[in-house]
Structure 1
Amino acid sequence: MISGDADAELRRLADDPSFAHRDAARHAIRFRADGDVADLVAIEDDPHPCGMTDVVFALAGAKRTWLNWVPMPAEAICNVADEVGSRRAQGEDLGLVRLALSSAEPASAITASLRVMGEVELGIGEFPAPDIRLPLRRGRHTVWRYDGTDPVPAVPAPSADAVRVLHEVGGEPWASPISGHVQAAPLGALPLPDLLGLLAHLPGPPGTPRWEYLAQSTPTYWYRLLQPWVCLGLLRHREDEPWAASTRREVLLDLALGIEDWTADAALFALVTAAYREPELRSEVHAVVRARLDAAAAAPRQVTIEESLAHLMLITPGRTADDRALATAILARAAREDDDTAPAPPAPEPNRRWWQRRG
């Protein structure tokens, strides 16, 4: 029986002489104490992996950013959209005609917010350097283009079947990236145009009690969560192709190093998941995560996904002391700037699919 207290459960497993993965449990305890990603990697690299090592991995990452939940939207437009959406959900007849942003914010954040608020005349004051519309590296695959200052999808809308699969697979957070990878298999079976279409057209949430509840507080969160799920689907797409020349690698790298957007950190999350599962990918993935974080840290303006990137850096296999110093400095600065009024993230609900074996 797995209890709701991850730390107590790990101590119990580590002290149980009949438990075959006591070393993994000890690594998990150490990771939760000091955040050394080497301990997390050691769990995944257990010489006898099975469903229980996946459970230990999930316990190690319980209530930790990206390991168990996606960061909340950090954009000003999402704050407005959440306020408007929550007041409407509680019965208030609230209209919004126009909205002005002092500077550009990610295309996904703007699109998600307009999904919640409806048609709004949006004004953007400036696109300060580095221009958010320009990719770090130009690739073949992109899901956004700009009509002047307005982001618009650069890919066709997904099919109704793709939306159905997304709702079935991605209606809840993952217990861990490892279990998320297993659960994302039906998404991976979708055609590539459907997966890219889901990223840009941002279909609405499933009609479940969870999302009806979150509509009263943080309706933009669904759109933040769905893109990492889709990127896990991209990681499962055409898995028979050798990684180096694969469609999944090309698409995820193009998104990760594309424009400054939620799709970038969603793709990076999928790549980090791949790095846990495939040790030979770790050097490449580490370099890509660090490149994206360096670009954010060097920008002489606010980068709304910077904290998210810092959290990803901290859980990337092969993370160095220098990586950790940069990421923790970014998070410390953000904490100093935070007025402590931001809402807490929605708590993940128990997910019994922890027990699924690896796919």
Structure 2
Amino acid sequence: MQPANPRILTINGGSSSIKFALFEGGDSRRVVEGAISRIGLSEATLRVKGANPADNVSLSLSAPDYAAAVSVLMSWVEGHNKRDALTAVGHRVVHGGPKYREAQRITVVMVRELHEFSPFDPEHMPEELLLIEAFHRRFPDLPQIACFDTAFHHDLPRVAQLLPIPRRYEAQGLRRYGFHGLSYSSLMEQLVSQGDPTATAGRVILAHLGSGASLAAVRDGKSVDTSMGFTPAAGVPMSTRSGDVDPGLVWYLARTEKMTAKQFNEMVNARSGLLGISETSSDMRDLLACEPRDVRAAEAVGLFCYQVKKWIGAFAAALGGMDTLVFAGGIGENSPPVRTRICDGLGFLGIELDETHNAENRAVISKAAGRVAVRVIHTDEEQMIAKMVGAVVSLN
């Protein structure tokens, strides 16, 4: 049974950062949020902001690797746990593999299986498992809950799951999984709370556009397709990820540059996308600022908007039309010029922006007479993790 005033810590571990937040009460009220950033680089930082001024922290630290950053986080958590005991910890786990589809308590068996799934996403899973195991060592009696980023897409139609490679690989778990599921769950929940009937009985395209970017096609509240596939590197170009590329590049670069599979993986995940095309920055804000005088920046922005537009068209075809388009993520929520370029020319689908509303980042940026409602929604993965954890804890 859930305590009267639960205290839930959410953990969102990335390859070079760890975001965390503390929620209190049955309504999952956020009271503290923070992050350890620039892990593995010089001048890593710990920043914490809380309702209580005493919780505020901003300092430089040494975090040459992920283990060092985890140690810093454990010390911070230990101080809070002594003052007000935590009820549970919720982890964003990027990959649930073919088995895990619902948030649930982490067990020894689950950890062993997640290690087996680790090759599915070597960019994220090892660090996430390091965090889970560190919490278990430091707080062995504290319940830990895994919230899977692939769960939202777990029941994709079979035609959207299949990879067009020899069938025998499917038995090894090779299929299209999709990611950003916690974000999409948050967006769909907010659509329901906003009274949009298409959230439960309609055709919705969700565009999570940030440093990682993907789109999802949703019919009657269920995911029917998504742009990311077996790994988060697939789909549209991102800050440093390539998105979809011709698989023949692997063999070509192996022959012409002696590039290994590991080097190719590093290239498409860390040196491609906006950074690779612009050769200057992975940040959309930087590229928009300098595109008038830098053709490389202009081409990076143009490619991003073009590819997102193509996916919207593809998903409209998969859905047989569309009723609602949602922009979310750092770019989707905060860049009116990018939204304009993506939507330009999509009038045939019923998308018509009100440019004044778009420039003001309003909640609804489409014209009142437009057939498609175009919305801007702040996605909140941490809040969604807290709610999922609260639901699991209340059942135990």
Query: Same fold by TM-score, threshold 0.5 exceeded?
Result: no
Greater relative CO, 1 or 2 (CA 8 Å, sep 6+): 1
Pick the structure with greater CA Rg: 2
How does the TM-score come out when normalised to structure 2? 0.26
Calculate the TM-score normalised by the size of structure 1: 0.28
Quick check: which one's strand share is greater?
2
Higher helix share: 1
